[in-house]
Amino acid sequence: MGTRDYAFISLCLAAMLALGTGLLRQDRIAEPESFRPAQYQDDDFTSVVAKVNNEFRQHWSDNQIEFAPRADDLTIARRLSLGLVGTIPSLEEIRELQKHDPLYRQQWWLSHLFEDRRYSDYMGERLARAYVGTENGPFLVYRRRKFVMWLSERLNSNARYDSIVRDLIADKGLWTDTPAVNFVTVTIDQNNDRKGPNPIRLAARTTRAFLGMRIDCLQCHDDRLGNVALGTLDDPRDGLQADFHQLAAFFSEAKSSLLGVRDQAGEEYNYRYLEAETEELIPPAVPFSPELLPEDGNRRQRLAKWVTHRDNKPFARAAVNRIWALMFGRPLVDPVDDIPLNEDFPPGLETLADDFVEHDFNIQRLIRVIAETEVFQIDSRAPFEITNKHESSFAAFPLSRLRPEQVAGSVIQASSLKTIDADVHIVFQLQRYNEQNEFIQRYGDPGDDEFVEPGGTISQRLLMMNGDLVSRRSRANMISAANRIAQLTDDDKHAVEVVYLTVFSRKPSEKEQEHFVARLQEEKSMQFRTRTVEDMIWILLNSTEFSWNH
C-alpha cells in the first residue's frame, strides 16, 4: 500500500468523522440573547396565561366538554417551529432543546426561533398574504418582494404592531425606498380607467386585515341580512352603504406618480349610492367609535391613528385572532377576518387582546403568552373519543393540514441532521429555495385562503410518493440524514429512534420501534441497512403525521 493509498484512507476517515459529528457530538447552538427565565415567572406574564387557562376551563366545564391532557414537549416545539419558521425542528435543535429545564423549555425554544432570521422571513410572508394577497400586482409600482422584506425587518426588530400598521396605511414615498406603500400601490389598476390607488379595495383590505371585519357587502348596498352589525353594544345597527364609502373616502387623497405615493389635499371622493340619481361627495367618516378619530393629520394619517388606537378593540382582536391562527392552523373566530364587533367572544380573545394593548402591541410577547397556555399545549389525542366539537373548542389540539411551504421545508429539514437555517452555506440555501419553489408549484398554493381545511389530493400524494423532492431527500448520499443514520448509529434501536426524531420530532412508540428494528434485522449488510433507513424516511414523509400539524 503506497503513501497515496494511506492518504486516501485517512481522508475518508476524516470525512466519516466529520459526518459523524452531527450525530455523535452534541452540536452547540448559541444561547439566545432574549431568553429571560425570570420574565416567564413574573406575575405580569403568568397572570394572563392563568386567566386564559381559566376561561377555557370554564368554557369546557359549562359545555360539558372533556379536554385532552398536555402534549409532550417535542410535539409543542414542533407546532411552534411550523407556525413560526415554517419547518420542523432539526435533530440538532431537538438535542439542544432537551438539555433545557422543562419549566422554561418552550420559552427557550421561542427565544431561539425569534432570533432565527427564518422567523421574521416566514411571518413576514404569512402576514403579507393578509395585507397585499399573493398576486404579483401592478407592474413597476408594486414590489411584493420589497414589501415582504420590509415586513420581515420590522418583525425581526419586534417593532410595535400598531406602528407597522400605521406605516402600511399612511406611509408615503417610493415603493422601493418606502416599501410599506406597496400596501397602497397593489390596488392600482394600470389598465383600467382609474390610474391611482383604489380607495374601495383599500377600504375593504383595511377592515379585513386590521380590524378583522368584512364589510365588503356594504360596497354595493346597505346590509339587509343582519350580517354587518355596527354601532355599539347598547345601540347596535345594521351596516349602511355609506359606512363603507365614508371609510373609502379616507384614501381619496392617496395619489401615485413617478415620485411615489403622496397625499394630495383636497382630492375628494365621489360615489353614486344605490338607487341614487347622481354621484355625491362622500365625506370621510369611520363606521364605529368616531370619538377615537383624531382631527389632525391628512386623511390617511387620521385613519391610521383611528385604526390603531389603543381603545379600538377590533384592531387588537384581529391581530390576536391572526397570530392565533398562524400558531394553531385555525383561528379562534372563524373566518379569521370576520370577527363581530359586539357579541360574546370566545374564551381567550378579549384577555389576549387586552394584554396585547397593555404591552404595546408586542407580537413576540403575544406569541409567548399563547404558547404558554394550556390550550396551545394540549394534546391532539386523548383517552376519550375526540370529535369535531372537541377540536372546534380547542379541547383537543385541532389537526390542520400543513401548507405547501411547510411540507417542502419540513422534507428538506428531515433530510438533514443539522439545522438548515439562514447560516447554512449559500449553495444549500439556493438549493432549498429552488426545490421549495418547484415543489409548491406542483403541490398547489392555496393563495390568500390561509386557513381552509381540505384534505389531501391525489396529485399531492403522487408528488410525495414519486416526486423529485422526496425521492432525492430520502435517498442516502454523503451528507443526507439517511446515510448518516445508517452508518453512524450504535444499534438498530438507536437508528429507529433517530429517524423518528429527525422526521417526526418524537421518539417511536414501542410498536413502531419493534417493527422497524425487526425490519433492520432482516439482513445483515450495510447496503440493506441503508436501504431500510431510506424506506423508513420515505414512509414517515408520506404519513398523515408528517403532513399535518397535530
Partner 1 sequence: MMQHNHSCGTAAHFSRRTLVQAAGLAGATWLTPLSQALAQQADTKSKPQAKSVIVLWLQGGPSQFETFDPKPGTKIGGDTVAIKTSVPGIELAQGFEPLAELMDDVSIVRSVVSKEGDHERATYNVKTGFRPDPTLVHPALGAVVCHQLPDDLEIPRHVSIYPNNWPARGGYLGDQFDAFKINDPSGRIPDVRTGVKDDRLKRRLDDLVNVVESEFSRGRVKDIDSKTLHKTSILNARRMMSSEQLDAFDINKAPESLLAKYGDTRFGRGCLAAVQLIEVGVRCVEVTLNGWDTHANNHELQRGQVDILAPAFAALVADLKERDLLDQTVVLCGGEFGRTPRINPLGGRDHWPHGFSVAMAGGGIRGGQIVGETDTDIDFDDRENRTKHVADPKNVEDVHATVLHTLGVNFQQELNTPVGRPMIVSKGTPIKQLLG
Q: What is the CA radius of gyration of the chain?
A: 26
State the minimum distance, in angstroms, from the CB of residue 128 to partner 1. 13
State the minimum distance, in angstroms, from the CB of residue 68 to partner 1. 9
Beta-bridge partner residues of 173: 261
Find the angle CA(440)-CA(441)-CA(447) to the nearest 5 degrees.
Answer: 75
Continuous segment of H or E residues that includes residue 359: none
Cβ nearer to partner 1, comparing 2 with 226: 226
State the minimum distance, in angstroms, from the CB of residue 224 to partner 1. 8
The grid coordinates of residue 451 equal: 386557513
Cβ nearer to partner 1, comparing 104 with 443: 443
Continuous segment of H or E residues that includes residue 400: strand 400-401
State the minimum distance, in angstroms, from the CB of residue 14 to partner 1. 32
Cβ nearer to partner 1, comparing 42 with 453: 453
Cβ nearer to partner 1, comparing 27 with 267: 267
State the minimum distance, in angstroms, from the CB of residue 125 to partner 1. 16
Cα–Cα dist 154/163, whole Å: 10
Contact by Cβ (8 Å): 548, 464: no
State the minimum distance, in angstroms, from the CB of residue 511 to partner 1. 6
Cβ nearer to partner 1, comparing 7 with 462: 462
State the minimum distance, in angstroms, from the CB of residue 120 to partner 1. 24
Cβ nearer to partner 1, comparing 19 with 517: 517
State the minimum distance, in angstroms, from the CB of residue 455 to partner 1. 3
Find the angle CA(417)-CA(419)-CA(423) to the nearest 5 degrees.
Answer: 140
Cβ nearer to partner 1, comparing 283 with 447: 447
Cβ nearer to partner 1, comparing 243 with 337: 337
Residue 130 C-alpha from the chain's centroid: 11
Residues 6+ apart with CB under 8 A from 54: none
Cα–Cα dist 417/409, whole Å: 14
Cα–Cα dist 387/68, whole Å: 12
Q: From start to end of 221-271, where are the E strands?
A: 229-231, 236-238, 254-257, 260-263, 269-271
State the minimum distance, in angstroms, from the CB of residue 517 to partner 1. 12
CA distances from 3 to 9, 16, 128, 224 (A): 10, 20, 60, 90
> Per-residue DSSP letters for 153-167?
HHHHTT--HHHHHHH
Cα–Cα dist 168/182, whole Å: 8
